[in-house]
Structure 1
C-alpha cells in the first residue's frame, strides 16, 4: 500500500507554476512584512509548539537516561516522548481518540520518567541537554522559515493531499481507526502513525489542522536533526575524537546535505564543454547537463536520478530523496515522519550493543517491540529495515545471542567450532528479531486488524535490471568515498601489508570488473558487506560500521528483489534508510580519520590527519551546494499566496488566491462537525484542473469529510475492481437513472453533494441529481452549490 508520484512525470517547463511541489515565480518580488494580529497569532503558535516539543523532551529525560545508558540520551528525549505518545495514543485511541488518548500518553510518559528517575546512576547533564535543545530550536526555526514562505498543501509534487487529509480525518474522528476521506464508510487503508502523533500535538496545543500541518513538519525535522546529532555523538564516544564534531556532522549529513548531482552540475558548468561531456556521460546524466548554469537550478532534479527500469532514455526515475529535499518539498508523509524513530531504534540497539546482558534483554524484548510496532504504523516500508537492523546488531555483537536466553537454556560455545558458533548466531539472531516483530504486532494489534487486512495481494519477485553505477555514485557517492577510506584504514590496523593504497586500488578494480560484467552495484556493496562484517569482529571499528553494512545490505536487497507494480517504491522507500545509516556512519568516520586514526607502527600520523581533514572538508563542500541553491531559490522566488497574504504558516491560505471559485465552499464544509458522507467527482488524483473535470477530491482532502470515491490511490490500497465500482457509482449518483440515484445515495448514506466546476465539466456524466425531491440546495455560491440529501425522503 502506498501513495506516490510514480505515474506523474514532473517537468518544470511543462507544468503551471502553482502545480509544482511549491509555488514558484520566475521574477522575485520584494515583500514587506506588516505586523498584523494574524502574524502575532502565528508567532505565538510557533513559540507554543516549540515549547511543547521541548517540554515533552524534558519530561522524557529521566526515562531516556535510564533507557539509553552510555549514549547521548538527551538527543533522544523528544523521540522517546513521541514514541510513548504514539504507542499509547494509538491503543487508547481505539476507545476514545483526542484528549483521552493524549492524556493517557502524557500520563504514561510521566509515570515512566518518575519510576526510572530513581533507578539510574546517570546524572542528567543540564548543559548537554541545553545543547541538544539548541539543535532542536535551530532545526525547528529553519523549517518554519521555509514553510512560512510556501505553506501550501497542493495536490501535485508530492503527497500533501493524502497527508493533510489523514490529519483532517484524525482530527474529526472520535475513535480509531479514522474513516477514509477518500473511501467513505470504510477505515483508512494507510499507515497513519505520523499524522496521529501530529494530531495529538495539535490537540495538546489547541491548534487547527491548517497550522498543525506545517508546525508538525518543523517539529519532526528538528527531532530528526537532534536524534542524528545524538546518535553520531553516541557512537563516537569510545573514540578519541570530538563528540561535538561527530554530532554536528551527523546533523549536517542527515538534515542538510544533498546528493552529488548539484555539485556535478556546478563542476560541469565550470569545465570546458568537451571535459564536461565526459564527466556528464560517465555519471549517466542527461547530455543537456553540459548546458546547465546556476540559473537553471530546480530543486526537484536532485530527487530523481536512479531509473526505475534501467534502460536507455527510460525517462522515469524513482525518488531517491534525502531529508532536506523532503522537508523543502513539504509533504507530511510517512517516509519522513518515521525517520526520527528509525534513528531511535538504532540508538536502542547501540545501548543494547554496549550494555550488560540484563539491560540488553530489557531493551530488546520489552522496549524495542512497541517502538518497532509504532514504526509499522508510521511507515510499513520501514518495518523490515528496523527488523533487519535488529538482526544484524544481535548477530555481530561480541556476546553470543544465546546470552539473551534464560540461563538454563544457554549453552557454552567455548568448546564448539567456529562453524557451530556462526551457525547458531545465524539461527538465533533472526529468532530474536522475530520475537521483537511479534511483540510489535501485539503492541499495535488494532492497526493490523483494521487497516492492514483485506488489501490487494502483491507478489515478490526477482529483479534482473541493475542500477547504473553513475546513478548510484550521484546519489550516494559522497558516503561511499568516506567508507572506502575508512575501511581501508581499518584493514590496515589488522595487516600492515594492507595499506590504504593497496586496499583502495583493489576495491577500484573489483568495482570496474563488476561494472564490465553488468553488476555495478554488486561490485560496490558486496565488498562493503563482507569487509564490514569481518571488521565488526575486531576492535578497530564499532556501531558506525554496522550501519554501513546495514545500508549496503539494503542496496543489495533492492537490486535483487521487487514487488509487483511497486518498483518505484521498492527503490524510493528503502533508499531513505540507506541515506540515514550512511550519513551517521560518515559523520563518525570522518572525525576519526581527521584525528589521524589509526595509530600503528610505520604510519605517518600527520599525513593521515591531513588526508582525513581534506576528505571531510571536501565531502561537506560537495554535499552542501544543494541546500544553498534550494534555499536561495525558495526564499527569493515568492509565491502567489505570499504575494497576496504575506508570510504565513496556514497550509490552506492559497485557496482564496489560486482557487477562489471553490474556496468558500471548502471553507463551509470544513466548518461542519463530524464526518458526514460527501459526494465529489471521481476518479481523482494529482491534478486540480476544474476546467478539465479534475477536482482532486479537494473538498474531501482539505476537510477530512469523507467522499464516496476520492484519489485513485484507493485502487492500490483496496484493489482496482473495488475502486472502479465506486467510481461507477459516483457517476451514476450524479447523472444516472433517478431510481438508481436514490438507491445509491441511500446505500452510501450521502449527506452532501458537491457540484463545482470539476463536476460541471466532468466528461463522464451530466449532473441531474439536483432534480431529485430528496436533494435540496444547502448553500450556493456563483460557481459551487452544495446540496443536502434527505435520507428519509429517498424511500418515498
Structure 2
C-alpha cells in the first residue's frame, strides 16, 4: 500500500491545522485545546473560500498555494497584538526566541486543557487510518451502489480546470451546476501533496471522515466541560460522540439480533409489527444477521434513503453530503462559541456571526447546499436559547429591548418575542448576507427544485422511524424527562397524549419528536439544567418533523427521497454529538436530577428503596444504548474485510483486471486529451428520443458501459448519465441525447453537424456504444475522423475539424 502518500496527507493536515490554530483558538476561545480538532476544517474552509473566488478568474495548481498564503495571513491577523507578526511573516524566528514571539498566556487563555490537544490528534489519526484501511481493502471507483463515477469525474474535472466552476464532465461546454466545494477542498490537498487523482479520491474520503469524527469529539467535549463534567467526563462525552457519529448505525441490526433469539413464530410476528411492511420487510429484518448486507440498514423508510456516516464512508462515495458534514459541524461549533459568549462581549458575538458565519455560509453553499438551512436553523436556536439576548445584536438593540420590557409583562410572551423573534430577525440577516456571497453559485445552479407538501401516504411509518432514530429518541426522552423531577406525572401524561395524537392524525413522526420538542423547549426556557446539547436535540427533532410535511420536489429523485436523504444525514451528525453529551452526563450523574420530596415521591418511596441506585441504573441504560448501535460496525466491517483485500488506495487499479480494454483507452485519453477537448460517448440514458438507438435502454446509468472515459479522465462528454435531468431539465438533457444518437446512428450530414456543434475532438466507441447502437457502430467513414487509438474492445477516433466533412 502507498504508505508515503498516507504520511503526506497526515503531514498536510497537521501543517495546515497548525497554521490555522491561532484562528481556531480565537474562534473557539475556552474550548479544551482551543478547539484544535477543528483546525484542519478551518484551514480547508479558508483555502477553499479563496480558491472559489480567485478561481472564477483563473485556477491552477498555484491556487492551492495562494490559499495557504491567505491562511497564513488570516491566522497571523488572529494573533494578539503583542505578537511580533512581522517576525512570523519574515520567518525570522529562532527556536530559542519562540517564547518571546508567541504570547503563551494568550494561547493558555483560549486553551482550558492544553493536554487535550493530544487526544484530539489521536482521534483524528485513528479515524483517518480507519478509513484508509477500509479503502485499501476496496478502493475501486465503480458505477453501481452509489455515485462514485460522478464523484471521481468531479474531482478529475476540477484538477483539469482553468477557471471555476469547472466544465460539467457530463454536459460538455456548460459550467458545473452541482455543489463541488468539497471536491475542490480534496483537489487542493491533492495539489499540495502532489497526489495523483486515483489516490486523492480515497485519501480525501479518509480526510473528510477524520475531520468529522475529530470535530464531533471536540464539540461534545467542549459542551460537556461547560456542563460541569471534569476532564475525564468531558473526554468521555467526546469519545461517545465520536463513536455515535463515526461508528454507530440505526437499530436495524440490533433488532434483527434480538428477534432471532426468539422462537421462529414469535420472531416473525414481532418482526411484522416492527416493520409494518408485510412479510417481505419482516423477512429482511430477520435476515440481517444470517444474510447480512451492509446496504439494508440505509433503506428503512419506504421511498427514502436513511444513511448514517459509517454506511456512507464504507460505501465509499466521495459525495457532497459526506464532504460537507465536517463543515456543517464546524458551523455548529461556531454557533456554540456564540452561545457561550456573555452578553457584555457584543463585539465578539457580532464578530462570530458576521466575521465567521456569514462568509462561511457563502462557501458552504458550494460545498453542500443542503447544509445551509440546517446551519441557519442551528444558528437560530443558538441565538434563541443563548444566555445573551439576540436583540442586543441589532442596531439600537438595547433600546428595543428596554421598550419590549416596558410594554410587556414578564412572562413567556415577552420571552418568546425577545428571544425567538429576535433570533429569527438576526438569522434572516445572516441568511441574506450569506446568500449574497453564495449568489454566484446559487443563481447558476440547476435542479429546478420547488417546495411541495408531503403526500400523507408517503409519510414515515412509526416502526421505521423507531428503527432509524430509536436510540436517539430513547436517550433524549429519558434525559429531558429527568429535567423535571417534580410534577412529572402530569408531564408524562401530556407527552403521552401528544404521542397518541400524532399517531391518530396520521403523522407518527409527531408522536416521536413532538414530545422531545416540547420538553426540550420548556426545559431550555425554564432553566432546567440543560445546555447547548438540548439546542442540538431541538434542531434535529425539528428537521425530522419538518420532512414529514414538506420536501423539495425535484427531477433528481422521486418524491421526498433526496430531501430525507440529505436532511437525515445532517440530523445524525447533530444528534450524534448531542447524545454523546447526554450519555456522558447520565453516566456521571444519572438521567434524573434529584427530586424535591412530594406526595408522589413518598408513595413511591418503598418501591424506590428496592430499586438499584439511580446512577447505577443510568449507567446500565447508557451501556445498553451504546451497544445497541454497534452490531452494524461489527458485521459490516467484518464482511467488508473478508470479501476485499486489494492492498492499494488506487481507485482505478481494478480497471486493469476487470476492464482491461477500456483501461487502455482511458489511459491513452488521459495522456493525450487537453482540458479544452470534448469527448463523444453514448449517454447513460434509458431511452432514445428519436428512436435512433438500436437498444434505447442501453447503457443506462449505474453501469460500467455508461461514460467510463469521461468519468475516469474528467474530459467532458456531450451527454453523460441521466442525472443531468435533475440539473438541466428533461428537455435540455434529452435534446443532447438525441444529438448523440444522431452522431452515432444518423445520416452523415447529421453526424458532422453534431461533431461541429459541440466541437468534439474525440469519439469513444466501446461496449456501451455497441450495446446502444449495434455491433457495427462506426464513425470512421467520415472525412476528418480517423482512429487515434484501438484495442480489442475500444476505439478512439480523433476529429480534425479543418478536414471534417460527410
Provide TM-score, normalisation by structure 2: 0.87
Distance of aligned partners of 1:445 and 1:106 in 2 relative to their CA distance in 1, 3 Å threshold:
farther
Structure 1 partner of 2:306: 320
- Give distance in 2, aligned partners of 1:343 and 1:189: 24
Kindly indicate whether residue 359 of structure 2 is the aligned counterpart of residue 370 of structure 1: yes
> Which of 34, 45, 48 is 1:86 aligned to?
48
- Secondary structure in 2 matching 1:298: coil
Note the alpha carbon deviations across 1:381-405, whole angstroms, 9 max, x for none.
1111111111222122233221102
User: Structure 1, residues 759-787: CA drift from partner, whole Å, max 9, x if none?
Assistant: 12214896242110110111111111100
Q: Equivalent residue for 1:296?
A: 291
Deviation at 1:222, TM superposition (A): 0.4
Q: Does residue 767 of structure 1 match 2:762?
A: no
Whole-angstrom CA distance in 2 between matches of 1:684 and 1:354? 52
Q: Does 1:270 align with 2:276?
A: no
Over 3 Å counting, the alpha-carbon distance change for 1:462 and 1:260 in structure 2 is closer
In 1, are the aligned partners of 2:237 and 2:580 still within 8 Å (CA)?
Answer: yes
Moved more, 652-661 or 209-218: 652-661
**Where do 1:358-397 residues align within 5 Å?**
358-397=347-386
Contact 1:680–1:707 (8 Å) recurs in 2: yes
CA 1:688–1:226: 2 relative to 1, 3 Å:
farther
Cα offset for 1:92?
Answer: 1.2
1:440 aligned onto 2:440: no
Is 1:129 matched with 2:104?
no
CA displacement 1:28-80 (0-9 Å, x = unmatched)? xxxxxxxxxxx4xx110011101111211111111111111122311211111
User: What secondary structure sits across from 2:167 in the alignment?
Assistant: coil
Q: How many angstroms apart in 2 are the aligned matches of 1:237 and 1:692?
A: 47
State the alpha-carbon separation in 1 of the partners of residues 155 and 472 from structure 2: 35
Summarize the alignment of residues 568-587 of structure 1 with structure 2, pairs less than 5 Å apart. 568-587=561-580
8 Å Cα contact 1:172-1:675 kept in structure 2: no
| Aligned CA distance change for structure 1 residues 690 and 390 (closer, same or farther; 3 Å) | closer
Structure 2 residue 618 is the aligned partner of structure 1 residue 626: no
2:495 to 493, 499, 507: 507
Change beyond 3 A, Cα 1:217–1:535:
same
Residues 662 and 783 in structure 1, CA contact (< 8 A), matched pair in contact too? yes
Q: Which moved more, 1:476-485 or 1:527-536?
A: 527-536
User: CA separation in 2, counterparts of 1:659 and 1:201?
Assistant: 29
1:663-682 to 2 correspondences below 5 Å: 663-672=663-672, 673-682=674-683
Distance 1:693 1:50 in 2: 34
Aligned mates of 1:464, 1:368 — CA distance in 2: 36
Distance in 2, matches of 1:693 and 1:406, equals 57
- Unaligned 5+ runs, structure 1: 1-38, 309-317
Evaluate the alpha carbon distance shift between residue 681 and residue 469 of structure 1 in structure 2; reply closer, same or farther with a 3 A threshold: same
1:786 aligned to 2:799? Answer: no
Tell me, in whole angstroms, the C-alpha distance in 2 between the residues paired with 1:47 and 1:791.
47
Tell me the TM-score normalised to structure 1 length: 0.88
Q: What pairs with 1:419-434 in structure 2 (closer than 5 Å)? A: 419-434=413-428
Q: Does the residue aligned with 1:96 lie in a helix, a strand or coil?
A: coil
What secondary structure, in the 3-state scheme, does the structure 1 residue paired with 2:226 have?
A: coil
- Aligned-pair distance for 1:694? 6.8
- Uncovered stretches (5+) of structure 2, i.e. residues with no partner: 82-104, 602-607, 688-696
Match in the other structure for 2:393:
404
Question: Separation in 1 of the partners of 2:289 and 2:398?
Answer: 65
Partner of residue 160, structure 1: 148
Q: Distance in 1 between matches of 2:466 and 2:317?
A: 26
Picking from 136, 151, 160, the partner of 1:172 is 160
Pair 1:350 & 2:341 matched = no
What SS is found at the alignment partner of 1:491? Answer: coil
Q: Does 1:723 align with 2:733?
A: yes
User: Residue 146 of structure 1: CA displacement?
Assistant: 0.3
Secondary structure of 2:675 counterpart: coil
Partners of 1:386 and 1:682 lie apart in 2 by: 37
Equivalent position of 1:250 in the other structure: 241
Contact 2:782–2:805 (CA under 8 A) maintained in structure 1? no
Alignment-derived partner of residue 563 in structure 1: 552
Q: Using a 3 Å threshold, how does the CA distance of structure 1 residues 699 and 221 change in structure 2: closer, same or farther?
A: same
